[in-house]
Amino acid sequence: MGKKKNSKAKFVWMVVVAGLFYLAQFAWNEIPDVTDGKRVSLNKEQATASALPMKVDDVIEIPARLTDRPELILVRKGYTVSYNKKTKLPNWVAWKLTPQRLVDRESRTNDFLPDPDLSPNEAVTTDDYKRSGYDRGHMCPAGDNKWTRMAMVESFYMTNICPQNNNLNRGDWKELEEACREWAKESGAVYIVCGPVLYDRPHKTIGKHKVVVPEAFFKVVLSLGDHPKAIGFIYKNTSGNHPLDAYVNSVDEVERITAIDFFPALPDEVEKSIEAQKDINDWVFPSN
């Protein structure tokens, strides 16, 4: 009898997973290509929740709406960003990473650009970072956007950038980016959300636009398949040289720290189960 129940449960789970993959594929195919001038730009103060297209909301990696801070949703070729006009930072940046998106078709541009969806008065520029001592740290990395020219160009929009300790940006944070690429190749797809962590205290700012300097950064990663799993990471915005497992948290812990609800499109029972996980043995960490 137990065997029958297990078989039935496995079948139901396979149906759920298949449905989620179909939903993600459909949603990404339906998001308008930004080259056609139909970029989604909704200011939370000016739009009702229902105004945001369902095709954006239903993408697996998109977090729940934020109600405790300014939010401007911008859909790009390779990622979606929730931008905060007050902090001049993304609240979060989310994207799906697949082996197909890791094909090197385009070279890195290094051409950091003010976001064209913001007015000149409010758009952060590279001048804000000059002599600040901080790197222009990508949230969705350029290395994940070599699959098309537009994706590469948009990865350098300043709404995808945060002031980041240069040692972190070029060291441990980069290693996590590389690990995510290995996981995408291994599992066929991973769903990633990352962004700054701001503690409840006065913040340092840089530049004319007073860009807030984050105290830390978060990243959460979801993999679906026969054995769905999720894992979270928190990195202080300081120099360091530590293995990946030194930064591991459960997604639940990252949600508590950031006050962001991740992967709300998942069935509740699945979300509850995988977001409590933080077993690094479930993930294949590339050798350093």
User: What residues are labeled active site?
Assistant: 138
Distances (CA, A) of 249 to 179, 211, 223, 269, 275: 16, 27, 16, 20, 10
CB 191 within 8 A of CB 184: no
φ/ψ (deg, to 5) at 99: -60, -35
DSSP assignment of 162-199 equals EEE-HHHHHTHHHHHHHHHHHHHHHHS-EEEEEEEE--
Query: Distance from first CA to last CA of the chain, Å, rounded?
Result: 47
The token pair that represents 200 in the structure block: 């409840």
Query: What is the rounded (10 degree) CA torsion for 143, 149, 153, 154?
Result: -80
Q: How far is Cα 233 from Cα 172, in angstroms, rounded to an integer?
A: 11
CB 88 within 8 A of CB 211: yes
Q: Binding site annotation covers 169?
A: yes
Q: How far is Cα 126 from Cα 129, in angstroms, rounded to an integer?
A: 5
CB 202 within 8 A of CB 250: no
CB atoms near residue 38 (< 10 Å)? 10
Binding site for Mg(2+): which residues? 169
Binding site: which residues? 169
